[in-house]
Amino acid sequence: MYEHLRNSPVYQNALRAPSAFALYPANWMKKKHLWPDHRVQTAAIRLDHLMTNALDPHYSYICRDHVSAMMTFLECFDRDLPRWNLSAQTRSLIEPRIAFCRQIVAQRQEDCTARGDEPPSSALFRETIIRNEGNIDEVVYDNPCYNYYHMAFYRPPLYSKLDYYWGDPI
């Protein structure tokens, strides 16, 4: 049903995304001037997972949970990217993903209008993160679960929730 989206080069590239949990957080980098680029580059990988999960071919609809998360990411990008001095490479990496996410959100909006359902909102994802003691900016731009990814014996509730959104490859 959503073949026009699944056939997109952005979606096809997203299918090859590495683990979102294995990416080290920007604050582990000694060179703080590289933090914005690193944060946006890792956010792009999390977006890849959100896009592929939202458009999972096993389902006949676009997942509202993943669209809510995409909307949260887009709101953060709209707020922060104009203020950050990003490299051309980082911009060329993130901009197609942002445009594609906007297409997915618009398609979900159209589907909701046609069915008379509630329109998509970032509130669902934001509430999930806050309820599980997470920080929105940290989830979007960093990896609050990095340490737990490497520890098999304990994973907090936030980890489990984020596993739903971008999957744990373990």
Say whether 57 sits in a helix, a strand or coil. coil
Structural domains counted in the chain: 1
Residue 109 structural domain: 3-166
Q: Given this model, what pLDDT does residue 86 score? A: 94
**Does residue 155 carry a pLDDT above 90?**
no
Q: Using one digit for the tens of pLDDT, what is the confidence trace for 9-65?
A: 999 999 999 888 777 676 666 677 677 898 999 999 999 999 999 998 888 889 899
156 CB-contact burial (10 Å; exposed 0-12 / middle 13-18 / buried 19+): middle
Q: What angle do CA 58, 59, 62 make, to 5 degrees?
A: 135
**Does residue 117 carry a pLDDT above 70?**
yes
Q: Using one digit for the tens of pLDDT, what is the confidence trace for 70-92?
A: 999 999 999 999 999 999 999 99
